Amino acid sequence: MKAHSMNIKNIFNYGLTTNKKMSNMIKKNYKTLQNCEYINNSIFVPTRAYTSTNSDSNKRKMNMFTAINSAMHNVFETDPKSILLGEDVAFGGVFRCSLDLKNKYGDKRVFNTPLCEQGIIGFAIGLAENGFTTIAEIQFGDYIFPAFDQIVNDVCKYRYRSGSSFDLGNLTIRSTWGAVGHGGLYHSQSPEAFFAHASGIKIIIPSDAYKAKGLLISAIKDKNPCLFFEPKALYRASVSEVPVEPYELPLGKADIVRDGTDITLLTWGSLVHKLKIAADVLLDQHGINCEVIDLQTIIPWDVETVEQSVKKTGRLLISHEAQITNGFGAEIAAKIQERCFFNLHAPIKRVCGYDTPFPHVYEPFYLPDEHKIVYEVLKIMDAE
């Protein structure tokens, strides 16, 4: 294709060129190119309609691992090309998320792999490329890094590098995520920011059982590869009324879990519950009304919902378990500072893990909690 016949979308499909006409086109369309939503739409398949559940449908109490198990059973019942592979998944997995799947659907659709993350993702890529609805489980997020090259350079770029001729939209990678209370160095990490820097994969982190099922079904059905991180501290601790029938929650949409007027508290995963506790304390003891937002999807993240909230409250505190330097909170802070500069009453604050390897006995001091959140919010409010 000649450079002069390219439209703005082709820039992303074929890469930039030094051709003078192309350079003039880039200058002319610079404003469009700066729009991150436009770029996301160029990289990802457009968002489809989501299937909601009837509010009167059959529900029962489920914890998070049971809800995830229910989601996969729902998918396997309706999609004969669905496959689950990973370490120990055949007997139900160490966290019991795949319980009874092999017994019900057979060992050709649910099977164990060697302890080799590169092999799990490599095999999953081949399955997804050939049309199978593939769910690959990495038992601990800390051990996803041996497969980092395959995820970043193959999974993320497959559609882009082929000009949309091929894709891995049928692939969902499930993995545990975050601190559990006693995990130490290699069973506590939150690696979402590493993958957020690689365009082409959606990243989801649920905060309760209800969201886990709805978001996982959406991720599996989405025609883009998805990385679904599951907070292992919530596998049993988070209990919700969850529909037995399948339902979907939209990807790329944040959830305002508590309305407020004085400050926006933003997080994802396990810390949503800590921020809700902090918000209760701040309102009851200090009269500060906090708005709490669960981001839910890291990529693509819901810029508009956060922007609208901060324009209303004038203040933003971001918290995540991962260490503070280059954590995803830094990206959020930069974008909101650009969009809400004249609405801010105070600098954006981050309360995150420290820039050290994850400790063992000092884990309670390392992690953000409700006490740190309350302390920092009071500092923000007193500084004005």
Active-site residues, by number, are 117, 187
In three state form, how does the secondary structure of 224-249 look? CCEEEEEEHHHCCCCEEEEECCCCCC
Rounded-to-integer distance, Cα 136 and Cα 115, Å: 13
372 burial type by CB count under 10 A (0-12 exposed, 13-18 middle, 19+ buried): middle
- Which phi and psi angles does 308 have, rounded to 5°? -65, -40
Q: Could you tell me the sign of the dihedral formed by the alpha carbons of 249, 250, 254, 258, in that order?
A: negative
Rounded-to-integer distance, Cα 219 and Cα 140, Å: 19
**Cα 21 from chain centre:** 39
First-to-final CA distance of the chain: 57
Q: Which amino acid is at 196?
A: A
**Cα 35 from chain centre:** 21
In order, the DSSP letters of 272-306 are: HHHHHHHHHHHHHHH---EEEEE--EEET--HHHH
* 300 cis-preceded (ω within 30 degrees of 0): yes
Collapse the DSSP code of 186 into the 3-class scheme (helix H, G, I; strand E, B; otherwise coil) and give the result: helix
**Cα 100 from chain centre:** 27
Helix (H) or strand (E) holding 58: none
